[in-house]
Amino acid sequence: MEKQIKKRSLVIAIDGPSGVGKSTVSKKIAARFGLTYIDTGAMYRAVALAANRAKIDIDSIEELEEFCDDLRVEFDDGTVSVNGTDYTGLIRTEEASTLASVTSSKSPVRRVLVEYQRKLAKNGAVVMEGRDIGTVVLPDTRFKFFLTASHEVRAFRRHAEQKEKESLESKEVSESMRARDSLDSNRSDSPLVKARDAIEVDTGALDIDGVVEKILLAIEDGTV
Ligand code: DC
């Protein structure tokens, strides 16, 4: 199956709701093709924490616009910083998840981050994961995947991940995930939705390697 895939030109978009396995799958695909892995959720989380720390009233359009005018985000090799402060170690908490789901619904924030994400993908060789990569950030890429799984499967995975860091009941994780899913899917700017030309992969029905294999086959076979 040695099809001529120009690895340097590969731009792969992976979207889907939280807890669906996007990060693990995206990192494995990036490693397999020697591509750069870009986690856009990490950017929304870091910006949400930075806005919170700066006590920005994100419901005030003036305050938010002013904050976004000076916003400098850097994502590099798994680390994320905002205006020169490294937020990498702080973004995987329930608080950051809650803040990010609200902050990411704000258009001025999305405008800054989408522009930055497009810049990162400009020279190709990336796997980018998020909610709107195939629909908004990189709509022209041929390689789009939309991962799905039932709420129960995703909440179970997220709880297993979270409980190493924070003691949360599985019910709490499940309920807050439901609330965040609803915000992500119902916001007016770039809601979570499958791109028409994305391939849907149910990650509840396969193990991680099975999902990765399915995506790699689709890319190498040129079925996308
Ligand atoms: O993927 P994640 O859970 O780290 O994302 C954090 C939040 O940011 C989540 O509420 C969805 C949002 N997000 C988004 O709106 N657009 C993206 N491209 C990535 C994440």
Q: In the chain, what are the domain boundaries?
A: 7-221
SS3 call for 144: strand
Of 71, 69, 72, 73, nearest to 61 (Cα)?
69
* CB of 174 shorter than 6 A to ligand 1: no
Looking at the CA of residue 45, tell me the nearest atom of ligand 1: 6
Query: Which residue's alpha carbon is at the smallest distance from atom 2 of ligand 1?
Result: 41
The helices-and-strands tally (H runs, E runs) of the chain is: 8, 8
Residue 36 is inside which H or E element, if any? strand 36-39
Looking at the CA of residue 22, tell me the nearest atom of ligand 1: 1
Sign of the CA dihedral with 121 first, then 220, 23, and 76 last: negative
Q: Which of 184, 187, 193 for a ligand 1 pocket mutation test, highest count of atoms within 8 Å of Cβ?
A: 184
40 in Cβ contact with 128 (< 8 Å): yes
Phi, psi of 142 (to 5 degrees): -80, -20
CA 84 – ligand 1 centroid, Å: 21
Neighbours of 79 (CB within 10 A): 13
CA 4 – ligand 1 centroid, Å: 33
Q: What does the pLDDT read at residue 187?
A: 92
CA 222 – ligand 1 centroid, Å: 29
Q: What does the pLDDT read at residue 223?
A: 53
**CATH architecture label of 7-221:** 3-Layer(aba) Sandwich (3.40)
Calculated CA dihedral for residues 212, 213, 218, 222, nearest 10 degrees? 110
* CB of 28 shorter than 6 A to ligand 1: no
184 in Cβ contact with 98 (< 8 Å): no
CA 90 – ligand 1 centroid, Å: 15
Residue 82 is inside which H or E element, if any? strand 79-82
45 in Cβ contact with 100 (< 8 Å): yes
User: Tens-digit pLDDT profile for the chain (224 aa)?
Assistant: 445 566 667 999 999 999 999 999 999 999 999 999 999 999 999 999 999 999 999 999 999 999 999 999 999 999 999 999 999 999 998 899 999 999 999 999 999 999 999 999 999 999 999 999 999 999 999 999 999 999 999 999 888 877 777 777 888 889 989 998 999 999 999 999 999 999 999 999 899 999 999 999 999 886 55
